[in-house]
Amino acid sequence: MELTGEKIIIRNFEESDFEVFSQLVQDQSNHETAGLEYSLNKNNSRDIFNKYLVLANTYVIALKSSHKMLGIIELNERGVSDGLDKTREIGFVISSDQRNHGYASEAIKLMLSHSFNTLHLTEVWASVKTTNPVPQALLSKLGFKYIYQVSQDPLHLESEDKMLKYYLLKNENGGVNE
């Protein structure tokens, strides 16, 4: 798949993405805020990368000018039972040195357009740690509505870093304008 925007493209993983991918998984803050796998071991990073090469619905966010990877965006199935087959959960992470340039916003808009206009989804969900306000603000800006909060760990209900806020964007008008 390839989706093209003004500054970025969303594309499949390529072998040449390994070095940037390895930097992403070595950044512990990406694990803590976005749930990305974390590893300082190069062999383990390679194993994780090899899974991403074949993983369905997981794509590279790359600079349009160079095709260089700067992040990951996912559109994961939420289930296959009736009612969930037309919903997905979006997730994203941008390399720390590439943040605050509008890349995540552009990538999400491209993926939402693809989701509603091509895949004909009815809902796209996103979950964000309560301790991570930047993507919460971004999702709200893009039209997602806060729905509920839940703990990732029922044994630690009081732990703020284990709490997730869920946001929903419904396809109310038959598609998304880019």
Average per-residue pLDDT for the chain: 86
- Residue 158: what pLDDT? 59
Is the model's pLDDT at 174 over the cut of 90?
no
User: Tens digits of per-residue pLDDT, 61-111?
Assistant: 999 999 999 999 999 887 667 777 888 999 999 998 998 999 999 999 999
Per the CATH hierarchy, to which homologous superfamily does domain 2-170 belong?
Gcn5-related N-acetyltransferase (GNAT) (3.40.630.30)
- Residue ranges per structural domain of the chain: 2-170
pLDDT tens digits, 14-45: 999 999 999 988 887 777 777 777 777 888 88
Query: For position 177, what pLDDT does the model report?
Result: 42
HEC string of the chain equals: CEEECCCEEEECCCHHHHHHHHHHHHCHHHHHHHCCCCCCCHHHHHHHHHHHHHCCCEEEEEECCCCCEEEEEEEEECCCCCCCCCEEEEEEEECHHHCCCCHHHHHHHHHHHHHHHHCCCCEEEEEEECCCHHHHHHHHHCCCEEEEEEECCCCCCCCHHHEEEEEEEECCCCCCCC
